[in-house]
Amino acid sequence: MEQALFNSLIDISQSPAARCGQADLMLERARWAATVFDRYDRAATMRIVEAVAQAAHDHAAEFGEKVVAESGFGVAAHKKIKNELTAKPLVDFYRDQDFVNPRVDEARKIVEIPRPAGVIFALTPSTNPIATVNFKVLMALMTRNAIVISPHPAVKETSVEAVRILARAAEQAGAPAATIQIIAEPSIPVVEAFMNSDKTNVILATGGTAMVRAAYSSGNPAIGVGPGNAPVFVDASADITKAAQRIVDSKSFDNSILCTNESVLITLPEVENQLKIALKSAGAYICSDEETEALRRFLFPPRGFNIEAIGRDATWIAQECGIRVPSSSKILITPITQIGVEERLSREKLCPVLALHVAKTQAQALSQARAVLRLTGAGHSAAIHTSNETSVMDFASAVEAYRVVVNAPCSQGAAGFATNLAPTFTIGTGFFGRSSIGENVGPQHLVHWTRIAYHSGDEVPFGNYHGLGRGFRGALPTAPADGVPGSSASPQPSAASSLDTATKDELRRLIAAELRDMLRK
């Protein structure tokens, strides 16, 4: 058992031939695992899913702390919550959906047979690495797919350790060996070898725009996501106190590292003063014009977004800008007079800094909310606080977003954790955001259905398919070798603290390249 688990942690050589060869071996093992897994019934499948969800839940706090230590991003306690939400609650949400058994529709005389994708290649980000790993692994298992994880280099050690635990839980519950694998030493050439392989059936791309575009152009089916930049509108009919509290709680959650967080707060003159008072009471600090300019310079230097601010808390950012704020400050609010490319603070900010714009009229507010998403974040998320259903419909119709959260924190609500949307850590941005999927990505996107369709006329009777399953012919293929030359076990991941300064600097540069692309104009 341990041998198989260690063999999933392959250190791929940097030579092109070795890279392609080792990628081929990992994918061949994954393809074998998917072939075997396809023959499991729903009871066996769910036993594996439940075991992995339990393992993810049990280690949620541990990996929340480890990923913050390794990356320097976010809040460990909040990452624990996200890690837990992508374990048992995720399984509970899809528990009543059957991705294993055929579906029989007697009225339409159609039988649908589930066909798993096969081998999934999944990219995970530096910002929400373990929650995304949990989410993508459980989606793959629910649909009887094999998965190969490519972790972000900035959090590879914690990711490798987490995936190893999930792989062990899956195999102990009966999953085929190599159903869950991870690349221990990810790099752009390695990722390209996996994305371009004809043994990869689908790519789940979560990361920078360049990487998502590369997935789409790989020649393999890809499900990608785009950047966020959510506007939030508070109108005159809103419960101002509750709206302010929800916005502050959302914007400060995990130091605003979720792409679903509110980016620009838009309100009206008749609401402005009351809203500012409520925001202060909820833990926000309202910046002066001079403080706003200091934040603008700090967050958006000439070279692009300042990645040092990513996932940092409000007091740290304020201190770096020479702004004195109460130690209890949860977010910083920067009043701005316009929205567009000229105003850098109206762009996405993965830190607890929230721009505030006061529109002259409701119509202008809707236009400005639309402009926020057109600047960046098209197709992603938006939020509104109101008690007027007409306002909701007008707002939702105006913004180019596929998730509009009403009277709830957008960070959690758009991801399905404070609303009844499907829980996800992969947000589809659809046609607006040039993505193949507009809804929250879920296991239903990793299985297609063969449809048996009878003649619709009454003269052709429909057969009795209840209780019938798929028939498999022939013996299973032989399991391929693990492909680790001259070694009985792959090297164990080292502790995050073992990274030397040069390596950490290089990881910073990798993150910078990704995030500058995500947060560019």
Just list the catalytic residues: 259
CA distance 511 to 19: 23
CA distance 221 to 119: 11
CA distance 396 to 139: 29
401: nearest Cα among 222, 158, 152, 231: 231
Torsion over CA of 28, 30, 36 and 37, rounded to 10 degrees? -160
Q: In degrees rounded to 5, what are phi and psi of residue 10?
A: -85, 130
CA distance 205 to 224: 5
CA distance 434 to 427: 12
Residue 224 C-beta-side C-alpha neighbours within 13 Å = 22
CA distance 370 to 384: 13
- Beta carbons of 148 and 27 less than 8 angstroms apart: yes
| Residue carrying structure tokens 């429909």 | 462
CA distance 260 to 366: 19
- Beta carbons of 47 and 175 less than 8 angstroms apart: no
| Residue carrying structure tokens 């938006």 | 382
CA distance 143 to 146: 9
The H-or-E segment that residue 204 falls in is: strand 202-205
In order of 90, 138, 196, 381, 435, the CA distances from 402 in angstroms are 21, 24, 30, 6, 11
**Can you tell me whether residue 433 is helix, strand or coil?**
coil
In order of 105, 231, 375, 480, the CA distances from 174 in angstroms are 32, 46, 48, 18
- Beta carbons of 144 and 217 less than 8 angstroms apart: no
- Beta carbons of 118 and 220 less than 8 angstroms apart: no
